[in-house]
Amino acid sequence: MLYTDHSAEYSDAWVDEIPGSVKTIAMVGASGDETKPGNHVLRFLTDAGYELIRVNPRPDLTEIRGLKVYPSLQPIDRPIDMVDVFRPSEELAGIASHAVETGARVRWAQLGVHNDEAARIAEAGGLEVVMDRCPKIELLRASREADPDRRTRPIEGSGANLVHAAIGFSRPGGPLNTACQLVGALPARARETIRYE
């Protein structure tokens, strides 16, 4: 088994292929707090046409935006294409094992979340692995690169057509976009201090 070197920079072309290949995303660490990245990205991906399954281990969090929150990946009873993780790096190995059990195809860890053991577990289970990246930022980047002169784009179809999704969901500098872009602009060392709870 060959493992990816996750300390190296990912190819943008490779990262860009992933969002277009998935429709159902389980977000581990989804947040009901509108000030948290785990809420911003949840809203953005939902608006882009993805089916988002909310996962958070907090026992007091049972719904986000009127939809059920699962305590872990294990009770989810429908297919999952991608697991997006907003949890501390030390929890990633256990989440990777559960992601393999669900049959997911991709395990994506958010900015500041990196764990090489977890990457090996996921890759050994056949998953593609992305770490220390935000799908929202990647989608906005790909959309701008595809059409740099246009500030908004219409939504077309499901999340599988994400490259065609609107960057107008969150105008550059708009409230929904700002948190992710500020975090994404941080140097890698600073991103390592981000805590997802």
What does pTM read for this prediction?
0.76
Q: Considering only CA atoms, which of 47, 14, 1, 3 is closest in space to residue 133?
A: 14
Q: What is the CATH number of the domain that holds 93?
A: 3.40.50.720
Half-sphere exposure of 100 (CA within 13 A, CB side): 15
- The answer to the question of residue 196 being in a domain is no
- The answer to the question of residue 2 being in a domain is no
Tens place of pLDDT per residue across the chain (197 aa)? 567 888 888 998 899 899 889 999 999 999 999 999 999 999 999 999 999 999 999 999 999 989 999 999 999 999 999 999 999 999 999 999 999 999 999 999 999 999 999 999 999 999 999 999 999 999 988 887 766 554 444 434 444 333 333 333 333 333 334 444 444 444 444 444 444 55
Q: Which domain holds residue 133?
A: 12-186
In the 8-state DSSP scheme, what is residue 9?
P
- The answer to the question of residue 177 being in a domain is yes
Angle between helices 116-124 and 92-102 (to 10 degrees): 10
Is the separation of the CB atoms in 136 and 41 below 8 Å? yes
Q: How many domains does the chain have?
A: 1
- The answer to the question of residue 88 being in a domain is yes
* Start-to-end CA span in the chain (Å): 33
- The answer to the question of residue 136 being in a domain is yes
Give SS3 for 51: strand
